[in-house]
Amino acid sequence: MISVEEALQRILGYVEVLGPEEAPLLRALGQVLAEDVHSPFDVPPLDNTAMDGYAVRAVDTRGASPDRPVELEVVGEVAAGYVFPGEVLPGTAVRIMTGAPIPAGADAVVPFEDTDEPFEAPPEGARRLRRHQRVRVFREAAPGANIRRAGEDIARGQRVLRAGSVLRPADIAVLAALGHATVRVVRRPVVAIISTGDELVPVGRPKPENKIYDSNAYGLAALVLRYGGVPRLLGIAKDTVRALKARLERALDADMVVTSAGVSRGYYDVVKEVLAREGEVDFWTVAMKPGKPLAFGCFYRGERRVPHLGLPGNPVSALLAFELFGRPAIFKMMGKRDWSRPRIRAIAEERIDTRTEDRVFFARCVVTHRDGRYYARLTGPQGSGILTSMVYANAVTAIPPEKRVVEPGEEIEVIMLDWGHGEEWGTEPGFLAREPRFP
Ligand code: AMP
Ligand code: MG
Residue 230 has pLDDT above 90, yes or no: yes
CATH classification number, 343-433, choose in 3.40.109.10, 2.40.340.10, 3.90.700.10, 3.30.365.10: 2.40.340.10
Question: Which of the four pLDDT bands, split at 50, 70 and 90, describes residue 123?
Answer: low
Instruction: Dump pLDDT digits (tens) for 320-342.
Output: 999 999 999 999 999 999 999 99
Task: Please report the atom of ligand 1 found closest to the CA of residue 263.
Answer: 2
For the segment 280-302, the average pLDDT, to the nearest whole number, is: 87
DSSP conformational letter for 342? -
DSSP conformational letter for 315? H
User: Among candidates 140, 89, 143, which has minimal Cα distance to 115?
Assistant: 140
For the segment 287-297, the average pLDDT, to the nearest whole number, is: 90
Instruction: Dump pLDDT digits (tens) for 132-167.
Output: 589 999 999 999 999 999 999 999 999 999 999 999
Residue 267 has pLDDT above 70, yes or no: no
**Sign of torsion, CA 427 433 434 435?**
positive
82 burial (CB, 10 Å; 0-12 / 13-18 / 19+) is exposed
User: Among candidates 273, 259, 272, which has minimal Cα distance to 313?
Assistant: 259
Phi, psi for residue 245 in degrees, rounded to 5:
-60, -40
For ligand 1, atom 14, the nearest C-alpha belongs to: 313
* pTM reported for the whole predicted model: 0.90
Q: What is the pLDDT of residue 288?
A: 94
C-beta atoms surrounding 111 within 10 Å: 18
Q: CA 222, CA 209: separation in Å to the nearest integer?
A: 27
Q: What is the pLDDT of residue 130?
A: 55
Ligand (nearest to CA of 383): 1
CA of 274 from ligand 1 middle (Å) equals 18
CATH numeric code, 4-18+188-333 = 3.40.980.10
CA of 401 from ligand 2 middle (Å) equals 28
What is the best residue among 205, 236, 244, 260 to mutate for testing ligand 1's pocket, by most ligand atoms within 8 Å of CB?
A: 260
- What secondary structure does DSSP assign to 16-46, as a single string? -PPPEEEEETGGGTTPBBSS-EE-SS-BSSS
- Long-range contacts at 92-98 (CB < 8 A, ≥ 24 apart): 93/54, 93/55, 93/56, 93/60, 93/135, 93/137, 94/54, 94/55, 95/53, 95/54, 95/129, 95/135, 96/49, 96/52, 96/53, 96/54, 96/55, 97/49, 97/52, 98/49, 98/50, 98/51, 98/52
Q: Which helix (H) or strand (E) holds 316?
A: helix 315-321
Residue 89 has pLDDT above 80, yes or no: yes
Buried b (16+ CB within 10 A) or exposed e, 188-220: bbbbbbbbbbeebeeeeeeeeeeeeebbbbbbb
For the segment 80-108, the average pLDDT, to the nearest whole number, is: 97
DSSP conformational letter for 87? B
Instruction: Dump pLDDT digits (tens) for 165-219.
Output: 999 999 999 999 999 999 999 999 999 999 999 999 999 999 999 999 999 999 9
Q: At the topology level of CATH, where does 48-148 sit? A: Molybdopterin biosynthesis moeA protein; domain 3 (2.170.190)
Q: CA 47, CA 36: separation in Å to the nearest integer?
A: 27
Contact 100, 78 (CB under 8 A): yes
Task: Please report the atom of ligand 1 found closest to the CA of residue 314.
Answer: 8
- Measured distance between the N- and C-terminal CA atoms of the chain, rounded to whole angstroms: 39
Instruction: Dump pLDDT digits (tens) for 160-173.
Output: 999 999 999 999 99
Q: What is the pLDDT of residue 439?
A: 41
Tell me which of 55-64, 251-260, 291-300, 306-315 is least confident. Answer: 291-300
C-beta atoms surrounding 300 within 10 Å: 12
CA of 130 from ligand 1 middle (Å) equals 79
Task: Please report the atom of ligand 1 found closest to the CA of residue 293.
Answer: 2
Q: Which helix (H) or strand (E) holds 380?
A: none
Q: What is the mean pLDDT of the chain?
A: 91
Domain range summary for the chain, segments of one domain joined by +: 4-18+188-333, 22-42+152-186, 48-148, 343-433
DSSP conformational letter for 154? B
CA of 261 from ligand 2 middle (Å) equals 5
Q: What is the pLDDT of residue 302?
A: 83
Q: Which residues line ligand 1 (CB under 6 A)?
A: 195, 197, 199-200, 212, 214-217, 260-262, 264, 266, 312-315, 385
DSSP conformational letter for 418? S
Tell me which of 21-25, 238-242, 426-430 is least confident. Answer: 426-430
Residue 428 has pLDDT above 70, yes or no: no
Q: What architecture is domain 22-42+152-186?
A: Alpha-Beta Complex (3.90)
192 Cβ neighbours under 8 A, 6+ residues apart: 232, 234, 250, 251, 252, 254, 256, 257, 258
Question: Which of the four pLDDT bands, split at 50, 70 and 90, describes residue 117?
Answer: confident
Question: Which of the four pLDDT bands, split at 50, 70 and 90, describes residue 128?
Answer: low
CA of 293 from ligand 2 middle (Å) equals 12
CA of 196 from ligand 1 middle (Å) equals 8
Task: Please report the atom of ligand 1 found closest to the CA of residue 196.
Answer: 16
